Structure 1
Amino acid sequence: MVDWRYDSDADAAYLKLIDAKVVESGEVAHDVVVDYDADDRIVGIEILHASRRLPDAVIHPEAAE
């Protein structure tokens, strides 16, 4: 189950990898936050200021088709 979302109001993108409860988060690079579950598995990855850090085709994949 992989889910990609972009919130234009927050200018944040989130890639959810598994359906699990987030118990810890850590910034692994500038504007990149990784969420972990109780077993230390990666649940998701958040990218802040996404419009500056990601290509338009990634933020709006429907427009790239």
Structure 2
Amino acid sequence: MKIKYDSEVDVLRITLKDVDIEESDEETPGIILDLDSSQNVVGIEILQASKRIDNPQAIEYMIAPKTI
């Protein structure tokens, strides 16, 4: 997974899987889902990120422990 914030255009891009994007869908205004040929979500773009996220340049993430 890759997370990149571009301050020049104020877009946060989350790449879940590095594959060709077949189609993009904006069901919610400002949130674009990138889909592969099997219609799996492989990326997410958040437009006007600084208005939607407190600090898009300081993203935190957590990996939850596996449960058995």
* TM band (smaller chain): 0.7 to 0.9
Q: Give percent identity, aligned residues only.
A: 34
TM-score (norm 1): 0.85
Structure 1 residue ranges without an equivalent (≥5): none
CA distance, structure 1, for counterparts of residue 8 and residue 40 of structure 2: 28
Structure 2 residue ranges without an equivalent (≥5): 60-68
The CA deviation at 1:28 is: 2.1
Provide the residue aligned with 1:19 in structure 2.
18
TM-score (norm 2): 0.81
**Alpha carbon RMSD of aligned pairs, Å?**
1.2
Whose helix proportion is higher, 1 or 2?
1
Of 52, 57, 61, the residue aligned with 2:58 is 61
Higher radius of gyration, 1 or 2: 2
Count of matched residue positions in the alignment of Structure 1 and Structure 2: 59
| Structure 1 ranges of 4+ moved more than 4 A | none
